[in-house]
Amino acid sequence: MNCVTPPGAVLRWAAWYVPDPEVTSEELATRLGIDVADIVHRTGIHARRWAPPEQSTATLGALAAQRLFKETGIDPSTVDRVLLSTTSPDMAFPSTACLVQHALGLRGGGAMDVFASCTGFLAALSMARAAIRTGDARRVLVISADVKSRFLDLRDPSTAILFGDGAGAALVDADPHGTLAGGRVGPITLRTDGSRWAYVHMPAGGSRKPLTHATVAAGEHSLKMDGIPLFRTAVSRFSEIVRAELERGGIGMDDVACFVFHQANLRILEAVAKRLGISRERICTTLERYGNTSSASLPITLGAALAEGRLQAGDTALLATFGGGLTWGACCLEWRGGEVLP
C-alpha cells in the first residue's frame, strides 16, 4: 500500500486595497451629533474609508488581488481557484468571485463566494488548504472584500462609527517539498453558534423578508447590532479559541511573534489582550485608520504586518477572528524566510 503525504499549504503573501475617500471620526461626530472623543474612546477608530459610488465589492477585491500579483510577480493565470469572502456582494447572484475572476482576466478554474461574516477569511483559507491537500488545486487566490458603508444606518451611532470598506487578498500555494517561502498554514479551527444570530444581522433583503416598500421605510436593509452581548461573547470566544489553538499546536503564548486579530473595535482587542495576559503592542492593528473592514480586516492586517517586517523566518503568527452568525475561528502561520518568487 502506497501512502502519499498530502502537500502542505503555504500562504505566500498578503496585500490589500482600501478606497481613497477617507471619513474621519470628526466628520461622523458632526453628522451624528456626538463627541469625537467618545467615538475614539469607544472604538479606537480615527478614520475609515468608504467606497465611492463607482466602486463595488468586486472592484475592491480585484484591486487588492492586482496589488498582490504586482508585489509578488506571480502570474495571475497560474491561479486555479478563486475564493472570495464577503457579506456585501455586488448582487444576489452570480457570486462576486465570478465578477472578480472576470475583472482579473482569469479563465477556467473554480470561483465562488464564502459567506461567513467576519470569519470569512479563515473559512476561505480553510477551503483553500483543503483543496490543496487533496490535490484539487495548486494555487488558490483568497480574497476578502466588503463595502459595508452601503448597508449602514447613518442615524445609528452604534454601527455608523465602526465600519469601513476594504479588501485583502492572499495567495495560497501547494508546497509538496516544504521549500516555499511564506507562512505554512496549520489546521484551521472554525466554530459557530447559530442560536445567537440576532446579535448582528441585516433583517431584510433575503427570502425570509424580501424587499418591499415597508422594509425600506423601516430601515431593515441596514446592519443591526446588539452591542453589549456581542461584546461579551466576542471577548470570551476570542480568548478561548486563541488558548485552544496554542494548546493544539503545542505553542506557548510567548512563542507567538504577532497576533493578527479581527479589527472589530479597540475595546474588544484590549479586553482580549488582558484576558490572555499579553501586551497590547503584540496585537497588530489597522483599526485606527481603516475601521472594522469585516472579513477583510484579517488579510489587511496580515498584509500590513508583512509590509512592516513584523514576521521574520521562524516566527509564528496567530490569526483569530469573530463575527456574525455567530462565527469565530483561529489558525497559526509558521513563517519561513526567503524571497517570495513566482
- Residue 55 is which amino acid? Q
- 238-240-242-248 Cα dihedral, nearest 10 degrees: -150
H or E element that contains 128: helix 120-133
Cell reading at 304 = 500590513
Query: Which residue of the set 284, 292, 331, 332 is catalytic?
Result: 292
Closest CA to 330 of 340, 316, 342, 341: 316
Interatomic CA distance for residues 278 and 30, integer angstroms: 36
Greatest CA separation for the chain = 71
Closest CA to 329 of 199, 187, 138: 187
Query: Which residue of the set 258, 262, 265, 332 is catalytic?
Result: 262
- Please state, as a whole number, how many other Cβ atoms lie within 10 Å of the Cβ of residue 51: 24
Burial class (CB in 10 A: 0-12, 13-18, 19+), 165: buried
Q: Is 118 annotated as catalytic? A: yes
Query: Which residue of the set 118, 284, 331, 332 is catalytic?
Result: 118
Q: Is 258 annotated as catalytic? A: no
Using the structure block, give the residue that is written with the C-alpha cell 503525504. Answer: 5
Phi, psi for 12 (deg, rounded to 5): -75, -45
Interatomic CA distance for residues 202 and 120, integer angstroms: 17
List the catalytic residues: 118, 262, 292
